[in-house]
């Protein structure tokens, strides 16, 4: 089954404790992206990657890191999480091209205390 898989689905942690949210897709997609969803703000892009070893900042990259060492994986790293990073996070992937729809994972709800 074609899918984007995020782990964990839920995480409660404390300020300053490094965490990684994994994202994996099995569709051989070139493009991958991370978004955060906050009430009243919709989805905002954090980082995206056009292909292996190519990553770029989105609208809200501060406090986040990403890497794209393999085509299928695109982990999101919070080196020193803070409470304002409490949010619902989505990973998405698509084929290359402006007209390609994105496929989304089921989300990761992070709470930073």
User: What are the residues binding another protein (CB under 8 A)?
Assistant: 4, 33, 35, 40-45, 48, 50, 58-59, 90, 92, 98-99, 101-107
**Residue with Cβ nearer another protein (56 or 79):** 56
The nearest distance, CB 107 to another protein, in angstroms, is: 6
Q: Are 85 and 11 in contact (CB under 8 A)?
A: no
The nearest distance, CB 17 to another protein, in angstroms, is: 25
**Residue with Cβ nearer another protein (14 or 55):** 55
Neighbour count for residue 89 (Cβ, 10 Å): 22
In the chain the beta strands, taken as DSSP E runs, fall at 4-7, 10-13, 19-25, 31-38, 42-51, 54-57, 65-66, 76-78, 87-94, 103-104, 108-112
The nearest distance, CB 15 to another protein, in angstroms, is: 26
Separation CA 52–CA 74 (nearest Å): 9
**Residue with Cβ nearer another protein (50 or 77):** 50
**Residue with Cβ nearer another protein (59 or 79):** 59
């Amino acid at each position: 089954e074609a899918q984007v898989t995020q782990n964990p689905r839920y995480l409660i942690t404390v300020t300053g404790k490094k965490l990684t949210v994994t994202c994996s897709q099995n569709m051989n997609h070139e493009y991958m992206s991370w978004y955060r969803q906050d009430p009243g703000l919709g989805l905002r892009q954090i980082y995206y990657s056009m292909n292996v070893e190519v990553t770029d900042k989105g609208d809200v990259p501060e406090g986040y890191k990403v890497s794209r060492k393999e085509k299928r994986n695109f982990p999101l790293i919070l080196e020193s999480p803070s409470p304002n990073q409490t949010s619902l996070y989505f990973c998405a992937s698509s084929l290359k091209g402006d007209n390609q729809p994105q496929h989304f994972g089921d989300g990761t709800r992070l709470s930073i205390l």
